[in-house]
Amino acid sequence: MISAYDRLVAFARELQLVSDSASLLGWDQEVLLPRQGVAYRAEQMSWFSGYLHERFTAGEVGEWISEAEAAGEGEGALDPVVAANLREWRHDYDHATCLPTKLVQDFAEARVHAQSAWAGARKDSNFALFAPHLEKLVDLSREHAERWGYEESLYDALIDRFERGATTRGLSGTLGTLREALLPVVEAATSRRSFDRGRLAGHYPVSKQEAFNREVAEAIGFDFEAGRIDTAVHPFCSGIAPYDTRLTTRYDEGDFLSSLFGVLHEAGHGLYEQGLRKDWRGQPVGNAVSLGVHESQSRLWENHVGRSRPFWEKWLPRAVHYFPHLSGLTPEDLYDAVNQAELSHIRVEADEVTYDLHVLLRFELEQAIFAGDLAIGDIPGEWNRRFESYFGLPVRNDAEGCLQDIHWSMGIFGYFPTYSLGNLNAAHLAAAAKRKDASIEEGFLRADYAPLLGWMRREIHEKGSLLLPGELIELAAGSPASPEALIAHLRERYLGE
Amino acid sequence: MISAYDRLVAFARELQLVSDSASLLGWDQEVLLPRQGVAYRAEQMSWFSGYLHERFTAGEVGEWISEAEAAGEGEGALDPVVAANLREWRHDYDHATCLPTKLVQDFAEARVHAQSAWAGARKDSNFALFAPHLEKLVDLSREHAERWGYEESLYDALIDRFERGATTRGLSGTLGTLREALLPVVEAATSRRSFDRGRLAGHYPVSKQEAFNREVAEAIGFDFEAGRIDTAVHPFCSGIAPYDTRLTTRYDEGDFLSSLFGVLHEAGHGLYEQGLRKDWRGQPVGNAVSLGVHESQSRLWENHVGRSRPFWEKWLPRAVHYFPHLSGLTPEDLYDAVNQAELSHIRVEADEVTYDLHVLLRFELEQAIFAGDLAIGDIPGEWNRRFESYFGLPVRNDAEGCLQDIHWSMGIFGYFPTYSLGNLNAAHLAAAAKRKDASIEEGFLRADYAPLLGWMRREIHEKGSLLLPGELIELAAGSPASPEALIAHLRERYLGE
């Protein structure tokens, strides 16, 4: 007889095949799809989400889960893989079925309109064009959160979609501490002498950048037999499967660092995807655990590796090979070039030091919106007031202010804090890894990151979703994530401490 | 109340969305997929074919078709679109449901093993390794044909899968006539002085070839807003949707003609796909009508356009722009270079004159196999005997003989004749188009193919599957397809008549 649990495993594997197919269609849409194919592709994507939702929310799935849970309860200590799968299936099933179809459809429709309104509003820098759509998405998200439920604050329910186990209270504490510690570093870092970027001026042909990036990605462990790098307007990493992990970056023929850091960041995500256990593919336990942990991997390779001195000692000679006009520069020059800090308006262009200030602003505003303390119409004023107070810069228009990010137009609230969690986790894990295994620190000094990757594979990648994100970090690092390591890292890098 | 016909239209549209998604996965597999992703992709493809088969063969679909047919019978003259859709749904449904699941599964499994055995056998040039697999596929195909039914010969049922309405008797007559008329042309053409290919020697960078090919493809009407050209080992055209038609070609940096003619051939397929009516997408009537008509479009652009004098009068200067070392050549040189005829062993490398002899050999052997006149073990001997008699060349091994094509290892029998139908239809349609519209001939002389494409759009592309292939050709050309025009075309080109 096939047990309910075995049925679930087979069923989840089948849905994974289908959802990975949809991921490929989504990847293709960003990278290759001819313009005229967009509307048809949207129909396809909508079919996939409808199909997956329908299959997953079928009554029999709920019965299998209950049955498997009951069987598990009779057994005493459950196998940790079984326990993790049941935990995730229950969570996802309850989440998927708590929403009436009408709400799901309204949400999908509102998002389509909101995204197009947002694009127009940002172009015209006119928040009023976007406001009614944002209002609608906030209302729907509030209803969503109410139905899903929460312990303390409604915003908790939104965060939970992206970072299991995180709460408003917990994040406020952590990110508040980060902010206090960050402010003096920001002040010192942004007033340092800056590197003259003119010294990097020159022509960097795309084909040479591609070859250089590939060499770097391969050296840090990205497996091109199980992945690719392509070009897209916005760099991203699509984990279509652990056997097929696709990064994208974008090329500026006047600046090789832009595509390189796109690759380093996305390769960090890609190494995580490639490191997931293939034999668990299709089961929840085989998935990456959370956005905050995913972002820790991208930030690790981008900031801790790519912006380090030894990295440039190793890689500047190869860069000179591809771009001979760089031959007059020293590794220290490159180190300075990639570690400039500056207070500026746009989050996605922010450096390692000021980035979290951008996130904190959004985190505060989202809390205020969902607590009912900030009306939609008052967002631009409040954004601009806080921005000027934190960054010392006036916001000249909404396009460089509250309209700059796409997230809200997609109905995504509670996502921003995971960016800062990523920064914080990256530093916390890197420090722990170095402390626990001396060969990692030695590797860093020679720009040999095999020991580091090996540690991440064992402690993070291969564990998939066995634990909740906070538990996973704590077990790997020996202590719960805190801002301490990130602050120490930034103070060392920018204040020379 | 929703009629059974309307239900079918909506249902077919939904299945088309899904099957187009599978097409994209198939395209990606040939063009981009990292090596390690292949096995997982095979699982995905198998899911799609299972899902599509299951949905399409569900009892309710059969009921809708019967109901819609009955409603149609009550109505007198049926709308031609409705009639064509019902005709195709009935055909496909009966075809899909005439096979027991066991046979379908056995076939799928046998194909997988046969393909891998064929690859090994071809590598070792050892037919015996492939023979038992071929035997199995022939047996299963015979059972398939028996269940599907036929009027005169079992081989008819196999042909029907690729060219609706074609029969062994009809094709034997047509292709037999073609053969008789072809032999003197082959003899004359292959004994003409040949162009010295050494005059084309030089380096042709891929990026330049890409730019040149793109310019040509755009000029003949291929729409890059609704399509792409990529690189693959074997050139093909994937019509993922009329809004998303993807060609591939392959590059040889020593020979720009190879990638160019790949593009011209595949762009011919692509123009057909892009010319299908978008408002019919998902209904059978919106599909390309047959392989023999599809191949007529690819051959038209490859041979009638790309191997003509005016084409090279227009395009040699652009070729010189990209490849300056060609500047000493004349359009007549290029015309000679692309019109060399030679008796040789490999079908896919054959020229316009000798190509159909390769097809005829396979057509004869397939008939003999399914008539029970040729045992599997005797295939190599029979192949070699006939090949030497038709081509005057001994076959030195099975790799350059009966193991050269992939088709049989995929269980595809009855497909080869559609290649010759394509050649024949191309000439027949081109001659009719020129006769019926003087601007087409004039356009040919200036290498302006807009009038030609306009005619094909109206007479072939936009008609989708409204008629059966033979009817469509006859209506467009004013007479049924016959070898006459192809022979006249070849006699003119090679014998200067």
The verdict on a CB contact (< 8 Å) between A36 and B224 is no
pLDDT of residue B19: 95
Distance of CA B101 to the CA centre of its chain: 29
Contacts 24+ apart (CB under 8 A), A491-494: A491/A185, A493/A307, A493/A339, A493/A352, A494/A185, A494/A188, A494/A189, A494/A192, A494/A339, A494/A341, A494/A353
Share of chain A above pLDDT 90, in %: 89
pLDDT surpasses 80 at B76: no
Separation between Cα atoms, residue B409 and residue B397, nearest integer Å: 18
8 A C-beta contact, residue B276 and residue B241: no
What is the 3-state composition of chain A as percent helix, strand, coil, each rounded to the nearest 5?
70, 5, 25
What number of CA atoms fall less than 13 Å from residue B123's CA on the CB side?
6
Residue B489 CB partners (closer than 8 Å, separation 6+): B304, B427, B430, B431
pLDDT at B146: 95
User: In the predicted model, is pLDDT for residue B1 greater than 80?
Assistant: no
pLDDT of B472 higher than 80:
yes
Domain ranges of chain A: 4-97, 127-497
Among A27, A489, A495, A49, CA closest to A248: A27
- CATH number for the region B111-497 comes to 1.10.1370.30
Q: Which of B458, B481, B482 shows the shortest CA–CA distance to B470? A: B481
Q: Tell me the pLDDT band of B362, cut-offs 50, 70 and 90.
A: very high
Q: Which residue in the list A88, A163, A210, A266 is annotated as catalytic?
A: A266
What is d(CA A99, CA A15) in angstroms, rounded to the nearest whole number? 20
Q: Would the pLDDT of A176 be above 90?
A: yes
Query: What was the pLDDT predicted at A75?
Result: 72
Closest CA to B297 of B423, B128, B157, B474: B423
The pLDDT tens digits for A184-212 are 999 999 998 778 999 999 999 999 999 99
CA-based radius of gyration for chain A: 23
Taking CB atoms and an 8 Å limit, are A20 and B223 in contact across chains?
Answer: no
Render pLDDT for A310-351 as a digit per residue (tens, 0 to 9). 999 999 999 999 999 999 999 999 999 999 999 999 999 899
Confidence of residue B355 (pLDDT cuts 50, 70, 90): very high
- Mutate which of B11, B16, B18, B36 to disrupt the A interface (most A C-beta within 10 Å)? B36
DSSP strands (E only) in A242-291: 244-249
What order do you get walking across the sheet with B244-249 strand by strand? Answer: B227-231, B244-249, B237-241
Of A33, A34, A226, the CB nearest to B224: A34
Q: What is the pLDDT of residue B194?
A: 78
User: Is the sign of the CA dihedral B125, B131, B134, B138 positive or negative?
Assistant: positive
B423 pLDDT band, cuts 50/70/90, is: very high
On whether the CB atoms of residues A428 and A291 are closer than 8 A, the answer is no
CA distance A279 to A286: 8
Query: What are the helix (H) ranges across B308-354?
Result: 309-322, 331-337
Pair of tokens at residue B206? 């891929």
Q: Are B107 and B411 in contact (CB under 8 A)?
A: yes
**pLDDT > 80? residue A1:** no
Residue B163 has pLDDT above 80, yes or no: yes
Least confident of A15-29, A67-81, B287-301: A67-81
Please indicate whether residue B266 is annotated as part of the active site. Answer: yes
Q: Which residues of A touch B (CB under 8 A)?
A: 14, 17-18, 20-22, 24-25, 28, 32-37, 39-41, 43-44, 47-48, 223-228, 240-241, 243-244, 281
Work out the pLDDT band at B488, boundaries 50, 70, 90: very high
Token pair of B65 as six digits = 């078709």
**From the centroid of its chain, how far is CA A497?**
29
Angle at A240 between CA A236 and CA A242, to 5 degrees: 105
Q: Alpha-carbon distance A308 to A445, whole Å?
A: 9
Q: Quick one: average pLDDT of B131-136? A: 97
Distance between CA B221 and CA B449 in Å, rounded?
8
Judged against a pLDDT cut of 80, whether residue A460 lies above it is answered with: yes
pLDDT of residue B287: 96
SS3 category, A63: helix
Instruction: Tell me the C-alpha distance between A387 and A205, whole Å.
Output: 38
Q: What is the dihedral of CA A89, A94, A96, A101, to 10 degrees?
A: 150
**Hunting for tokens 């995500």 — which residue is that?**
A269
Residue A293 near residue A473 (C-beta atoms within 8 A): yes
Q: What pLDDT sits at residue A174?
A: 95
For residue range B21-41, what is the model confidence (pLDDT) as tens digits? 999 999 999 899 999 998 899
Decide if B414 contacts B155 (C-beta within 8 A).
yes
pLDDT at res. B112: 84
A-B C-beta contacts closer than 8 Å: 86
Residues A34, B226: C-beta atoms closer than 8 Å = yes
Give every CB contact of residue B261 below 8 A, 6+ residues apart in sequence.
Answer: B302, B306, B338
Contact B117, B130 (CB under 8 A): yes
Residue of B nearest to A241 (CA): B37
Separation CA B46–CA B25 (nearest Å):
11
Output DSSP code: residue B241: E
Pairing assessment for the beta strands B227-231 and B237-241 based on DSSP bridges: unpaired
Does residue B74 carry a pLDDT above 80? no
Choose the closest CB to B21 out of A21, A36, A228.
A21
What gap in Å lies between CA A117 and CA B125, rounded to an integer?
Answer: 63
What is residue A74's predicted lDDT score, i.e. its pLDDT? 76
ipTM of the prediction? 0.92
Question: From the candidates B266, B273, B364, B366, which is the catalytic residue?
Answer: B266
Query: How much is the pLDDT for A497?
Result: 85
pLDDT, mean of residues A440-469: 97
**What gap in Å lies between CA B271 and CA B264, rounded to an integer?**
10
- How far is residue A33's CA from residue A262's CA, in Å, rounded to a whole number? 21
Tokens of A430: 């890197």
Q: Which CATH architecture has domain A127-497?
A: Orthogonal Bundle (1.10)
Interaxial angle between packed helices B484-495 and B168-190, expressed in degrees from 0 to 180 and rounded to the nearest 10:
10
State phi, psi for A182 to the nearest 5 degrees. -75, -35
> For the ranges A98-107, A329-338, A346-355, A398-407, which has the lowest average pLDDT?
A98-107
The whole-number pLDDT of residue A104 equals: 86
**pLDDT range class, residue A112, cuts 50, 70, 90:** confident
Partner residue opposite B34 with nearest CB, options A40, A44, A226: A226
Count CB atoms within 10 A of the CB of residue A215: 14
Distances (CA, A) of B478 to B225, B428, B429, B474, B481: 34, 10, 9, 5, 9
Pairing of strands B244-249, B227-231: parallel
What confidence score (pLDDT) does residue A233 get? 85
A52 vs B contacts (CB less than 8 Å): none
B226 min Cα distance to partner chain A (Å) = 5
DSSP structural state of residue A79 = P
- Alpha-carbon separation of residue B457 from B287, B330, B431, B480 (angstroms): 14, 33, 16, 19
Binned at pLDDT 50, 70 and 90, residue B341 comes out as very high
Specify burial of residue B181 (Cβ count, 10 A radius: 0-12, 13-18, 19+): middle
What pLDDT score does A105 carry? 84
> Residue A362: which H helix or E strand, with range?
helix A355-370
> In this predicted structure, what is the pLDDT of residue A188?
93
| Contact yes or no for A268/A301 (Cβ under 8 A) | yes
* Arithmetic mean of pLDDT, B201-207: 96
C-alpha to C-alpha distances, B442 to B9, B394, B448, B487, nearest whole angstrom: 42, 45, 8, 22
Backbone angles phi, psi at A470, to 5 degrees: -65, -40
Which of A31, A38, A44, A54 has the most B C-beta neighbours within 10 Å, making it the best mutation to test the interface with B?
A44
Q: What is the pTM of this model?
A: 0.92
User: In the numeric block, which tokens belong to residue B18?
Assistant: 């899904």
* CB-based contact A301:A220 (threshold 8 Å): yes
Joined tokens for residue A385: 């007031």
pLDDT score, position B233: 84
A186's enclosing H/E stretch is: helix A168-190
A143 residue type, one letter:
E
CA-only gyration radius of chain B, Å: 23
**Of residues A18, A37, A227, nearest to B243 (C-beta):** A37
Interface residues of B toward A, Cβ cutoff 8 Å, are: 14, 17-18, 20-22, 24-25, 28, 32-37, 39-41, 43-44, 47-48, 223-228, 240-241, 243-244, 281
Q: In what order do the strands lie in the sheet with A227-231?
A: A227-231, A244-249, A237-241
Q: Tell me, what's the pLDDT at B105? A: 84
Give dist(CA A168, CA A173) in Å, integer: 9
The alpha carbon of residue B277 is apart from the nearest alpha carbon of chain A, in Å, by 14
The answer to whether the CB of A250 falls within 8 A of the CB of A275 is no
Please give the residue of chain B at the shortest CA–CA distance from A37.
B243
pLDDT score for B75: 72
Q: How confident is the model at residue A11 (pLDDT cuts 50, 70, 90)?
A: very high
What mean pLDDT value characterizes chain A?
95
Rounded average pLDDT over B44-59? 92
Which tens digits make up the pLDDT trace of B223-261? Answer: 999 999 999 988 899 988 889 999 999 999 999 999 999
* Lowest-confidence pick of A82-96, A234-248, A394-408: A234-248
Q: Residue B35 is nearest to which of A28, A33, A225, comparing CB atoms?
A: A225
Q: What is the pLDDT of residue A451?
A: 98
At B16, give phi and psi (nearest 5°): -65, -40
Is the separation of the CB atoms in A436 and A494 below 8 Å? no
pLDDT reported for residue A76? 74
The residue type found at B309 is R
Query: CB of B441 within 8 A of CB of B170?
Result: no
